[in-house]
Structure 1
Amino acid sequence: MALEIEVCVDTLEAALVAEANGATRIELCGRLDLDGTTPDEAFIQAALTQLQIPIHVMIRPRGGDFVYSEAEFAEMEQAIDRCKARGVPGVVLGALTESGTLDLTHILTLAARAKPEMLVVVHKCIDFTPDPAAAFDQLLEHADLIDYVLTSGGKPTAKEGLPVLQYMINQGRDRIKVMAAGKITKDNLNELSDALGAPAYHGRLIV
């Protein structure tokens, strides 16, 4: 089965280059210097119009931590609604509680808002939880709402997070796809793919 290769970008030019170089999907972001925020409407529309491959849109109201106010969650809901109205194929979201665990209540509310029209990716907020493997098991109970989890296994790089990534991949089979991330480049993709066998891989320099 062909690998899913997702490139995260914050400009249309970068998206077009990634597509030309073999990306199979684009994660569309604003402000990659802040690790990705919700892109503006014009960028989303231009990507939908000019790219031939699917896009997933980051839903993140600001940089910094993943503990959001109710006003920020309302902003995220509105962004999801706008993506759905435009026919965006998928959205990328996540949130943590004050104690650092997954904010499942809000994650599932946002995911349900995206469904059934859009795929839902829970992003690397999971890597900031005390136990990413346990957090993944929590998400598996809601595989009807979550399609992918983007993770480096709780470590700075996918290579360092290999044992946890392997656990997640084995647990998630046929339920939630693991999208491996964390300093994955075109130079180490094949090596990591051989070691992991994940269905999907994500990075800025992956193609």
Structure 2
Amino acid sequence: MTATYLKEACIETVDEALSVIANGANRVEFCSRLELDGLTPDIEEVKKLMQQTDIPIMVMIRPRGGNFEYNSDEVEQMKQEILEFKAIGIQGVVFGVLEGQCINEELTRALAQLASPLEVCFHKAIDDVEDPITATKTLSQIPEITRILTSGQKKTAWEGRATLMQMKDAAGEHLSIMPAGKVTSENIGKLHELLNAKEYHGRNIVIK
């Protein structure tokens, strides 16, 4: 199988971004506070990176760590951040909102429409839902959603491979399932042989 897939690197700083780009990353997801699984980064840092590379930049939109149910103030913060990043011309935004153990479809749709025409990735919040296949089908009905970042509800993409394959089938042609969870430069080939995904995500997806 030909290895034709995109490698998205998760990064926290401009220097880290430039390093992974030099080593073969095709796109970056810019976050802050990765010890909290990623929060919204400083817009000035994103601007600095944009001045130094033309590589596509996805930006995390997440106001705090913890769960993925947000109050009205947090939702307004997310909306404002989407508009601010949209205004500077990034590739897209990454967010995930739940209601209990289900996708918060109404809020997801609203945020995705606000972000349009940017790319929109629904992140690993989907790994906290009760039924990831139903959740995938729900997201597939929101045309502005571009991809889903998921480890198939396991700690690693390899452990979650069976669910990832089911999600890929449920997503249809419009929606990309992007495997994550300890995807590295060493195991991405093996994963791709099995999953044949269009894109993969990882902190160490390229050799640094």
TM value normalised by structure 2: 0.95
For residue 49 of structure 1, report the CA deviation from its aligned partner: 1.1
CA deviation profile, 1:68-118 (whole Å, cap 9, x unmatched):
111000000000000111011100011111x221111111110000002x1
- Retained in 2: the 8 A contact 1:6–1:26? yes
Counterparts of 1:28 and 1:51, CA distance in 2:
13
Matched residue SS, 2:40: coil
Counterparts of 1:106 and 1:172, CA distance in 2:
20
Percent same amino acid at aligned positions? 42
For residue 137 of structure 1, report the CA deviation from its aligned partner: 1.1
Runs of 4+ in 1 over 6 A off after TM superposition: none
Counterparts of 2:128 and 2:67, CA distance in 1:
9
* Partner residue, 1:125: 125
Aligned length: 204
Residue identity in the other structure for 1:12: V
1:32-51 → structure 2 map (5 Å cutoff): 32-51=34-53
Is residue 2:176 matched to residue 1:177? yes
Counterparts of 2:110 and 2:103, CA distance in 1:
13
1:34-183 → structure 2 map (5 Å cutoff): 34-97=36-99, 99-116=100-117, 118-142=118-142, 144-183=143-182
For residue 141 of structure 1, report the CA deviation from its aligned partner: 1.5
Bigger RCO (CA 8 Å, 6+ sep): 2
Counterparts of 1:86 and 1:52, CA distance in 2:
13
Residue identity in the other structure for 1:41: I
For residue 41 of structure 1, report the CA deviation from its aligned partner: 1.4
Residue identity in the other structure for 1:34: L
Residue identity in the other structure for 1:103: N
RMSD of aligned C-alpha atoms? 1.0
Counterparts of 2:200 and 2:169, CA distance in 1:
16
Structure 1 gaps of 5+ residues are none
- Retained in 2: the 8 A contact 1:58–1:91? yes
Counterparts of 1:26 and 1:65, CA distance in 2:
24
For residue 185 of structure 1, report the CA deviation from its aligned partner: 0.6
Counterparts of 1:41 and 1:90, CA distance in 2:
13
Single out whichever of 57-66 and 133-142 deviates more from structure 2. 133-142
For residue 151 of structure 1, report the CA deviation from its aligned partner: 0.5
CA deviation profile, 1:149-190 (whole Å, cap 9, x unmatched):
001111111111111111122232421011110111111000
Counterparts of 1:86 and 1:150, CA distance in 2:
24
Counterparts of 1:51 and 1:133, CA distance in 2:
37
Residue identity in the other structure for 1:49: Q
Counterparts of 1:100 and 1:69, CA distance in 2:
16
TM value normalised by structure 1: 0.96
Residue identity in the other structure for 1:183: K
Residue identity in the other structure for 1:2: T
Matched residue SS, 2:103: coil
